[in-house]
Amino acid sequence: MGIGRVSLPWKVLTYAILISYAAFSLVPLLWVLTTALKSPAEAQQVPPTLVPSSLHLENFRLAFTSPAFGGRPFANSLIYAFGTVALTLIIASLSGFAFSRYRFWGHRAISLALILGNLMPGVAKLVPIYLMYSAYGLYDTRLGLVLLFTLAVIPLGTWMMKGYFDRIPRELEECALIDGCTPLGALARVTIPLAAPGLAALAVIAFMDAWNAFTFPLILTERQALKPYTVAVYSFVGEYGEVQWHLVSAVAVTSVLPLLALFVFFQRTLVAGLTRGAIKS
Amino acid sequence: MGPDERAEAAPAGRPFAGAAHRRRRALRTRALPFLLILPAITMVVVLQLYPTLVGVWYAFHDVHLARLHQTPFVGLRNFMSVFTGPFPNLLNPVIAVTGIWVIGSVIFQVGVGLGLALLLQQRWVKGRDLFRSLYLFPWVISGIVVGYSWRFVFDPTVGLLNTLLVTFGMTPRPWLVTGPLAMGALLIAATWRSAGYSLVLQMGGLQSIPDEVYEAAAIDGVSGIRLLTRIILPLIKPFILVNLITTTVEALNAFDIVLALTRGGPLFRTEIVSLYMYHQGFQWGFLGKAAAVSVIVYLVSTAIILAYVRFLHEEEAF
């Protein structure tokens, strides 16, 4: 489609579609953002104003001091996200290294099992996981959640890391071995530092996955003090009754901020990791 | 590992300890890859494989939240009851609703993503990275926040959509209150969130086509629709198939976005299978019935994935 002369109407049409879809992508976010920045009185006005008459941060203060929401859920989500990142990086770089460097017995079957396991809908595990966690004391614990979040990223993480390791020449490790390193020492001192971009991409994906997780924490946490922001905002909105959209908007905006920061800084690695990870599997 | 290894390195200088040492070293090299994958495999076995198998066992037993220690064998009764029990059940309306949801999600997300990728990939388009960022960003937001944001857009009294309609002199409509409009709203929200992911994948596919292909097509006078259907689409078929699989799985797995936007309503008209399972198991306590639904979901998704893979292989054979 890149060759040949392009007619002006086609160019105009192309840009019109691209810009309209960009507006479609942005408008719901702006709607929530403007509501979060309205004064509480203006935010509850019917019919609503499209643009806030003046900028306020009171909704954020109200949401974070409200006993129904507070600051705790975001702290919990951060703990889960960092725990998941740490565990995923260790486990996936070890397994990715094994698949990249060794042709061991059953490596094809195991890799296939990893991929297929990842394709099975996670929701279908709800009941057995709930009963298993209740029986073994993992119900309503932080560790139980982090383990599940980590499991969700391990297959993709293994493939991503295998891809990055494949591009690092084996000779570098062999040199380290000749110089007296153990295989694991060579992995830690030579290969891992060279695979740093892969680790960064995986860390971003693991963080986002754990930060946004909802279903398992919904059924596996009971104590208010352990609920991540996703579950807290769900119970805050409640099943029925009037929704306090100005407070929900403030919470929504806060939840998007870390994602926006990661997205801006790591977009390139994220896009590369996604494309490669998807094609590998 | 460090000091241990050094202790072993010492006898290597002595001629007679060589053979045993080499054998031990070979064994260790052979065991190493298994040690490396051990943590990953352990997690998959304990948290994926084992629960799946146990879930199958539960599906044939009467498990209820209120009495977890008493789980008599009931044969196929759970399966019968999820198909033909009191409304809502799988036959009415869950399978139909899930079908519309999955097919709609796949068509819209892959279609919009591919269409935008084709437009964006044209060489003369400026600001490609900016467009791609704007399209992809909603994909990283949590389903629960996406669901609530769109519920706030569709809200009949304080929502953006009706406010805009009134501003432009049109009649406001009861979004989310009637079945078709609620399903439409869900599909819009899901497409809004995930079309950017398809776009990134399809742009990767389009970038994998070498320039020579376009040059050859131009020399042969192939352009427009024929260039698209005869040359571009066949070349990016693997990318499209991967996208179909991931989108199907994602749609079958969807839960938070639906719970936040419609809660399965109005009157179960958006009660997709994951919500039905959650309601059966954790709202009404019938964990055995929920497990039976899981088994069906496993079977169906395996069948769908195998069908896609088979299709891909057959196409490759030509």
Query: DSSP letters of B100-136?
Result: HHHHHHHHHHHHHHHHHHHHHTSTT-S-HHHHHHHHH
Distance CA B195, CA B87 (A): 34
Domain ranges across chain B: 2-59, 77-317
* Tokens standing for residue A39: 């004064």
Lowest mean per-residue pLDDT among A8-17, A103-112, B199-208: A103-112
What phi and psi values does residue B151 have, to the nearest 5 degrees? -65, -35
Q: How far is B143 from chain A (nearest CA, A)?
A: 7
User: Residue B15: which pLDDT band, with cuts at 50, 70 and 90?
Assistant: very low
What phi and psi values does residue B61 have, to the nearest 5 degrees? -125, 155
Q: Tell me the average pLDDT across B155-171.
A: 88
Of A37-41, B59-63, B154-158, the range with the highest mean pLDDT is: B59-63
Chain B, residues 24-83, CB within 8 A of chain A, namely 29-30, 32-34, 36-37, 39-41, 43-44, 47-52, 54-55, 58, 63, 68
CB A168 within 8 A of CB A194: yes
Chain A, residues 54-83, CB within 8 A of chain B, namely none
**DSSP type of residue A48:** P
Chain A, nearest residue to B291 by Cα? A127
Q: Tell me the average pLDDT across A212-237.
A: 93
Instruction: Please give the pLDDT value at position B191.
Output: 97
**DSSP type of residue B47:** I
* Tokens standing for residue B56: 């199958």
User: Residue A281: which pLDDT band, with cuts at 50, 70 and 90?
Assistant: very low
- Kindly tell me if the per-residue pLDDT of B9 is higher than 70: no
DSSP-based three-state secondary structure for B67: strand
Pick from B167, B177, B231: nearest CA to B205: B231
**What's the 3-state SS for A222-280?**
CCHHHCCHHHHHHHHHCCCCCCCHHHHHHHHHHHHHHHHHHHHHHHHHHHHHHHHHHHH
List pLDDT tens digits, range A150-197: 999 999 899 889 988 988 888 888 888 888 888 788 888 888 888 888
- Evaluated on CA atoms A237, A243, A247, A251, the torsion sign reads positive
DSSP-based three-state secondary structure for B73: strand
A47 to B166: CB separation less than 8 angstroms, yes or no? yes
Q: Please report where in the chains the tokens 């153990």 appear, as a residue.
A: A182
What phi and psi values does residue A242 have, to the nearest 5 degrees? -70, 135
Give me the residue from B29, B40, B255 closest to A215, CB to CB.
B255
Q: How far is CA B44 from the centre of its chain?
A: 18
- Kindly tell me if the per-residue pLDDT of A1 is higher than 50: no
Instruction: Please give the pLDDT value at position B237.
Output: 87
Q: Look up the ipTM and state it.
A: 0.90
DSSP-based three-state secondary structure for B61: strand
Instruction: Please give the pLDDT value at position B108.
Output: 97
For residue B271, give every residue at least 6 positions away whose Cβ sits within 8 Å of its Cβ, in sequence order, or none. Answer: B88, B93, B94, B97, B264, B265, B279
A182 to B294: CB separation less than 8 angstroms, yes or no? no
Mean pLDDT of chain A: 88
**What's the 3-state SS for B11-28?**
HHHCHHHHHHHHHHHHHH
Taking phi over 0 as left and psi of -120 to 50 as alpha, with beta for the rest, B277 belongs to: alpha
DSSP string, B265-287: -STTTT--HHHHHHIIIIIS-BH
- Kindly tell me if the per-residue pLDDT of B173 is higher than 90: no
Pick from B194, B263, B159, B134: nearest CA to A249: B159
What's this model's pTM, rounded to 2 decimal places? 0.89
Instruction: Please give the pLDDT value at position B40.
Output: 93
Domain ranges across chain A: 8-56, 64-280
* Tokens standing for residue A115: 């991929």
- Kindly tell me if the per-residue pLDDT of B22 is higher than 60: yes
Lowest mean per-residue pLDDT among A14-28, A104-118, B19-33: B19-33
Instruction: Please give the pLDDT value at position B17.
Output: 53
- Kindly tell me if the per-residue pLDDT of B179 is higher than 50: yes
Instruction: Please give the pLDDT value at position A233.
Output: 92
CB A272 within 8 A of CB A202: no
Pick from B136, B89, B143, B79: nearest CA to B273: B89
For residue A37, give every residue at least 6 positions away whose Cβ sits within 8 Å of its Cβ, in sequence order, or none. Answer: A52, A55, A56, A57, A59
Selected residue of A104, A123, A161 to mutate for chain B interface (largest B Cβ count, 10 A): A123
B172 touches chain A (CB under 8 A): no
Selected residue of B70, B121, B152, B284 to mutate for chain A interface (largest A Cβ count, 10 A): B152
Instruction: Compare B13 and A104 and report the one with higher pLDDT.
Output: A104
- Omega before residue B33 within 30° of 0, cis: no
User: Residue A4: which pLDDT band, with cuts at 50, 70 and 90?
Assistant: low
Instruction: Please give the pLDDT value at position A239.
Output: 61
Instruction: Please give the pLDDT value at position B2.
Output: 40
Instruction: Please give the pLDDT value at position A101.
Output: 86
Q: What is the number of other CB atoms lying within 10 angstroms of the CB of residue B148?
A: 26
Distance CA B293, CA A167 (A): 43
- Kindly tell me if the per-residue pLDDT of B134 is higher than 70: yes
List pLDDT tens digits, range A261-271: 999 988 888 88
Fold of B77-317: MetI-like fold (1.10.3720)
Q: Please report where in the chains the tokens 């079977």 appear, as a residue.
A: B299
Distance CA B261, CA A243 (A): 13
Fold of A64-280: MetI-like fold (1.10.3720)
Distance CA A33, CA B144 (A): 16
User: Residue B257: which pLDDT band, with cuts at 50, 70 and 90?
Assistant: very high
CB A111 within 8 A of CB B53: no
Instruction: Compare B11 and A221 and report the one with higher pLDDT.
Output: A221
Helices of type H across chain A: 8-37, 40-43, 58-65, 72-101, 107-119, 126-135, 142-166, 170-178, 183-186, 192-194, 196-212, 215-220, 229-237, 245-280
**Measured between beta carbons, which residues in chain B are less than 8 angstroms from residue A214?**
142-144, 255-256
Instruction: Please give the pLDDT value at position B202.
Output: 94
For residue B297, give every residue at least 6 positions away whose Cβ sits within 8 Å of its Cβ, in sequence order, or none. Answer: A121, A123, A124, B252, B273, B274, B277
Q: Please report where in the chains the tokens 């919990």 appear, as a residue.
A: A76
Residue B61, beta-bridge partner list: B73
Q: Tell me the average pLDDT across B186-207.
A: 94
**DSSP type of residue A189:** I
Q: What is the number of other CB atoms lying within 10 angstroms of the CB of residue B82?
A: 26
Chain A, residues 212-251, CB within 8 A of chain B, namely 212-215, 219, 230, 233-234, 237, 239, 243, 245, 248-249
- Kindly tell me if the per-residue pLDDT of B4 is higher than 70: no
Instruction: Please give the pLDDT value at position B12.
Output: 43
- Omega before residue A47 within 30° of 0, cis: yes
Pick from B242, B240, B251: nearest CA to B194: B251
CB B257 within 8 A of CB B147: yes
Instruction: Please give the pLDDT value at position B214.
Output: 87
Taking phi over 0 as left and psi of -120 to 50 as alpha, with beta for the rest, B140 belongs to: alpha
Question: What percentage of chain A has pLDDT greater than the value 90?
Answer: 49
Distance CA B91, CA B178 (A): 20
User: Residue B61: which pLDDT band, with cuts at 50, 70 and 90?
Assistant: very high
Rg, chain A, Cα only: 23
Taking phi over 0 as left and psi of -120 to 50 as alpha, with beta for the rest, A104 belongs to: beta
Instruction: Please give the pLDDT value at position A241.
Output: 63
